[in-house]
Amino acid sequence: MAPAFKRGDRLVVASHNAHKLVEIGEMVAPFGLSVVSAGELGIPEPEETGTTFAENAEIKALAVAKAANLPALADDSGLVVEALGGAPGIYSARWAGPGKDFAMAMKKVADRLDALGASRPEHRRAAFVAVLCLAFPDGATRNFAGEVTGHLVYPPRGENGFGYDPMFVPDGHEETFGELPPETKAGFSHRARAFARFAEEMLVR
């Protein structure tokens, strides 16, 4: 399949999350693409009614692509904890409540693990999962997935990153995503791995 984009093209990031806009903007910059967020265009966020990361990413990407009449890239991602049956999963942001209180959300995860007696690292296995959906105004879509495995710690450590980053220690590292330098995390994060698949198929250097 021929790449979908060339240098100078514009891509809408189907999100109102400033962190995601910056992260995706930095990823596409080497390819000469410019990004604008759905929020900057005044496009409201659709209700996420899917049951998987892929379904929710597609809902967001399609809504924004059609509203903006431009290609749109949406991300749906979250923390999947083995001992909790995959929770919080697609509800990762909702566990933080309307105020996006991830300190509360991390404590909720830790409390549930404690209640199960999951105290050792091997009992606290988890993964960050991301699915990027690229949607076009005509309704065509493509999905690209990425995952990073690791284990959880509590209390949280580090001020970098966002969300559950300060409690997640990726395999092969001793630091949490909240402690690792942003440029280190950017090299292998779940979103970076999904983006690498997107770039390989859809972008021209």
pTM of the complete model: 0.89
CATH number for position 168? 3.90.950.10
Confidence of residue 70 (pLDDT cuts 50, 70, 90): very high
Predicted local confidence at residue 170, as pLDDT: 98
Give the strand pairing for 168-170 and 141-152. antiparallel
The mean predicted confidence, pLDDT, of the chain is 92
d(CA 17, CA 82) in angstroms, rounded, equals 27
Decide if 33 is inside a domain. yes
Number of domains in the chain: 1
Exactly one of 9, 75, 76, 114 is catalytic; which is it?
76
Q: Is residue 2 part of a domain?
A: no
Per-residue model confidence as pLDDT tens digits over 18-43: 777 887 888 888 888 888 999 899 99
Does residue 3 lie within any of the structural domains?
Answer: no
Question: Using 50, 70 and 90 to split pLDDT, how confident is the model at 197?
Answer: very high
Write the pLDDT tens digit of every residue in 88-104.
999 999 999 999 999 99
Looking at 32-144, list the stretches that DSSP marks H as alpha helix, in order from N- to C-terminal side.
53-68, 102-115
The answer to whether residue 205 scores a pLDDT higher than 70 is no
Report if residue 4 sits inside a domain. no
Within a domain: residue 96? yes
Q: Is residue 165 flagged as an active site residue?
A: no
Read off the pLDDT of residues 109-158 as tens digits, 9 standing for 90 and up: 999 999 999 999 999 999 999 999 999 999 999 999 999 999 999 999 99
Closest CA to 139 of 25, 194, 58, 84: 58
Q: What is the pLDDT of residue 2?
A: 53
Domain membership flag for residue 42: yes
- Mean pLDDT value across residues 157-177: 95
Give how far Cα 49 sits from Cα of 44, 57, 58, 74, 90, Å: 15, 10, 11, 15, 10
The pLDDT score that the predictor gives to residue 22 is 83
Domain-embedded: residue 27 = yes
Residue 8: which pLDDT band, with cuts at 50, 70 and 90? confident
Asked if residue 154 belongs to a domain, the reply is yes
Residue type, 1: M
* Residue range(s) defining the domain that contains residue 34: 10-202
